Amino acid sequence: MSAPHPESPAGAYGWRPIIVIACLFFIIGFVTWLNGPLITFVQVAFNLSTVSAFLVPMCFYLSYLLFPLPATLLAQKTGLRSGLVVALVIMAVGIAIFGECVSMRWYPGALSGLFVIGAGLSLLQITINPYVTLLGPTEKAAQRIAIMGVANKLAGIAAPIVLAMLVMRNINDIASRVKAAPDAAARDHILDQFAHAVQVPYLVMAAILLVTAVGLARSSLPEIDIAGSTQAAPPPPSAGQSASRGPTYLWLGVVCMFVYVGTEVMAGDAIGAYGASLGLPLDQTKFFTSLTLAAMMAGYILGMFLVPRVFSQERYLGLSAICGLVLCVLTWLTQGYVSVMCVALFGFANSMILPSLFPIVIRDVEERGAQATALLVMAFSGGAVLPQLFVQFMPVLGVQSAFVVLMAPSYGLIVLYNILIQRRNRSRPVPVMMVES
């Protein structure tokens, strides 16, 4: 196998596996970022309060807390390709359940469908993130993950627009007709027709996932030991450093991942509710998730050029979190559309946090790579917690204060972690991750 170009993030295996994995990240993004407009959709279709509508991200992201450990065991038994195939099949089942239950206006069934989708995504994330990290040199891992992020956010930009055009075209009119309905029977007839529009698009998505699973089963991807055996042993601790500090950094990184995913979901999924609370019309707020994801994609593209050419992964992680803190201040000080645009720009600040944080956390765990990955994916459950806290705080603090009270400490914690990591790195050399061809 010919050696890769030294500036290429592809590593020894070339671009083919990166393209295949990027396609999977596109699928992940399309399914995941439907949650933003779905909050608005289910609130109208099921005639729900804001708190009840926010059970959508809660059920979806809680699955990340429950399934990563079983998913890790399954991935270790089945191997990479089979694990990805099983994950896609599980996601297809969940999507079909969600579409059918929404069309019948059975909200508990719809939430169970989201939970099943999350279970499939847990298995997918358990394998796919460390796979990308170990696919080439560790100093270019953020570039590879950023490429995946571009694919993910392209899908995320498209998903709310597609859902809005297919099933939410007249959502303001529907909401007005529901309020003006003379009785419960007339209201239910309107909502039944509105909810039924979801059935066919979701069945089509389920079929696409099944076809993708079949194609992936027949593809060939390089076998990489995601448990970490492809990684060179890290150097021994320096004289003034205790070997027991490794788990401390691991757990701090996991907590940072928890709050980071919470901020990402707040900026992407809660932006519609944020805009609606400021009095903006539903016909506009249903597209706001796409604004956040467009800003996120711009951040990924910039990050691919700057890391590691200009900034190390560690330095860029800190700069991203500081940018988030600045946006917290601007979000709180502005009003209306300007404030919503500040929320959307959190996507730019968030874009390179996961691509930097994930390889930093798993870099030194060696044989504990699989367990560390499971903990990081479990930390995705932060996407369930912060949005629920947001809707609980809104009536007490107001929408803007509630938003900033949750976001600012999250970014502050990431800044603190980054300071500790950079201080540690100055006291010892950074280990190099090796991948054999």
> What pLDDT does 390 receive?
95
- What backbone torsions phi and psi does residue 356 show, to the nearest 5 degrees? -85, -45
Q: pLDDT higher for 101 or 219?
A: 101
CA distance 309 to 307: 5
Mean pLDDT, to the nearest integer, of 19-24? 87
Q: Which of the listed CATH numbers 2.40.40.20, 1.20.1250.20, 3.30.1360.180, 1.10.10.1100 matches domain 16-219+227-425?
A: 1.20.1250.20
pLDDT digits (tens, 9 = 90+) for 95-143: 999 999 999 999 999 999 999 999 998 888 887 777 787 777 766 777 7
Which amino acid would we find at residue 131? Y
Tally Cβ neighbours within 10 Å of residue 79.
Answer: 12
**Hey, what are 361's tokens?**
């956390």
**What is the pTM for the complete model shown?**
0.79
Q: Where are the domains of the chain?
A: 16-219+227-425
State both tokens at 111. Answer: 């939430």
For the residues of 254-305, what is the DSSP string, one character each? HHHHHHHHHHHHHHHTSHHHHHHHTT--HHHHTTHHHHHHHHHHHHHHHHHH
Confidence category of residue 164, pLDDT binned at 50, 70, 90: confident
Six token digits for residue 38 = 């779905």
What are the tens digits of pLDDT across the range 277-316? 998 988 888 889 889 988 988 998 898 889 878 988 889 9
Phi, psi dihedrals of residue 231, rounded to the nearest 5°: -95, 135
Whether 31 shows a pLDDT value over 50: the answer reads yes
Model confidence pLDDT, tens digit, residues 171-187: 778 888 888 888 888 88
To the nearest 10°, report the CA torsion of 102, 108, 110, 113: -160
